[in-house]
Amino acid sequence: MKLILLGAPGAGKGTQAEIISETYKIPTVSTGNIIRAALENGTEMGLKAKAYTEKGELVPDDVVIGIIKERLSEDDCKNGFILDGFPRTIPQAKALDDMNISVDAALSIEVADSEIVKRMSGRRVCEKCGASYHTEFKKPLKEGVCNSCGGRLVIRKDDEPETVLNRLKVFHEQTEPLKDFYKAKEKLLLVEGQDDVKDTTALVLKALSEL
Ligand code: AMP
How much distance in Å is there from the Cα of 34 to the middle of ligand 1? 9
Whole-structure pTM over 0.85, yes or no?
yes
Does residue 182 have its Cβ closer than 6 Å to ligand 1? no
The rounded distance, in Å, linking the Cα atoms of 84 and 28 is: 7
CB atoms within 10 A of CB 79: 12
Distance 15 CA to ligand 1 centre (A): 16
Residues 106, 6: contact at Cβ < 8 Å?
A: yes
Ligand 1 touching residue 56 (CB < 6 A): yes
Which one is catalytic: 36, 71, 119, 123? 123
- From the CA of 158, give the closest atom in ligand 1: 10
Q: Delineate the domains of the chain, giving CATH numbers in brackets.
A: 2-26+79-112+163-209 (3.40.50.300)
Annotated catalytic residue within 48, 50, 128, 156: 156
- Rounded Cα distance between 175 and 127, Å, is 29
Cα–Cα distance between 107 and 91 in angstroms, integer?
19
User: How high is the pLDDT of residue 161?
Assistant: 85
Measured between its terminal Cα atoms, the distance across the chain in Å is 10
Task: Select from 85, 107, 86, 84 the least CA-distant residue to 96.
Answer: 86
From atom 19 of ligand 1, which residue's Cα is the shortest distance away? 86
pLDDT by 10s per residue, the chain, length 211: 999 999 998 899 999 999 999 999 999 999 999 999 999 899 999 998 999 998 889 999 999 999 999 999 999 999 999 999 999 999 999 999 999 999 999 999 999 999 998 888 899 999 999 888 999 888 999 999 999 999 999 998 888 888 899 999 999 999 999 999 999 999 999 999 998 889 999 999 999 999 9
Q: Given 13, 36, 71, 119, which residue is catalytic? A: 13
